[in-house]
Amino acid sequence: MTKRIVSDKSERVDKFLSENLSYTRAFVQKLIKSGKVSVNGKIVLKPSVKLRSGDVVEAEEMENKPLEIEKENKPLKILYEDKYLLVIDKPAGLTVHPVGSKNTDTLVNRLLYHVKDLSGIGGVIRPGIVHRLDKDTSGVLIVAKCDEAHQKLSEMLKTHKIDRRYITLVKGVPKPEKGVIDVPIDRKNGTTKMTVSPMGRRAVTHYRVIEKIGNVFSLVAVKLETGRTHQIRVHLSYIGHPVAGDPVYGGGTKDAELRRQFLHAYEISFIHPIIGKRITVYSMLPVELREVLNKVRKKWKKK
């Protein structure tokens, strides 16, 4: 099957396709080098080819291979399920899908054991995976069980029709206490770390302080408008209030005694892509985060 996409900005063809197809960038580069990608009707063989806005990119998608990922009988908390999709409650510390040499102990391994049918659009290593949460972020995550649901959910994500809300503990007190962070994000060259960059893709985060804990911490509600990698962590760090427990972007762990970043996806809401009714699913703040919150309240809350 050939996928046809029109570029909306100037960027590398491999980056563009990896962001618009459910493939890793490395896999997209293999597609390009094997002559399966064309730009404006001409085959390109270099992943570094620069696109311009309006360029028509066609990629011959690989046929799905039989799954070779091991099924694992490990806990999987399902919050909602029907024959088209499910919403799970991902624990912190669990990677969503196999990456590189890591092909065990991921959410996908557990899904393959517990769920009979998953969409094949994500390919061998991402069956059913519509979107992701960072390894150390917990909370609600949608998984597609058929290709139609997967395609429609992916489009809904791109057009901002899925509401995703998070709760986080950040360092300090953001000023203003309610606002919108609208700055582009890109990957740092040669790393897995993201950064604010004028060359990046637009990223929009809405935030609201719901509790001030002295002047040391704030409990903040966050709503994503876009869904870039590490978006909440990067944006909050950018305004000077990194997520507590996130040493990658300046949060550290010392004051809050955290073993993970304090970031939890507590709500997801969307119109069901097949049935048409609104689905809203909530996830309680995990016990370990509630315990941390109680500790910092006792230590820093003004009497």
- By annotation, the residues acting in catalysis are 134
Write out the E strands in 128-285: 138-144, 163-171, 178-182, 185-187, 194-196, 204-213, 217-224, 263-271, 278-282
Tokens of 272: 């069901």
Whether the CB-CB separation of 152 and 275 falls below 8 Å is answered with no
DSSP E strands in the chain: the ranges are 2-6, 37-39, 42-43, 56-60, 78-81, 85-90, 138-144, 163-171, 178-182, 185-187, 194-196, 204-213, 217-224, 263-271, 278-282
DSSP 100: T
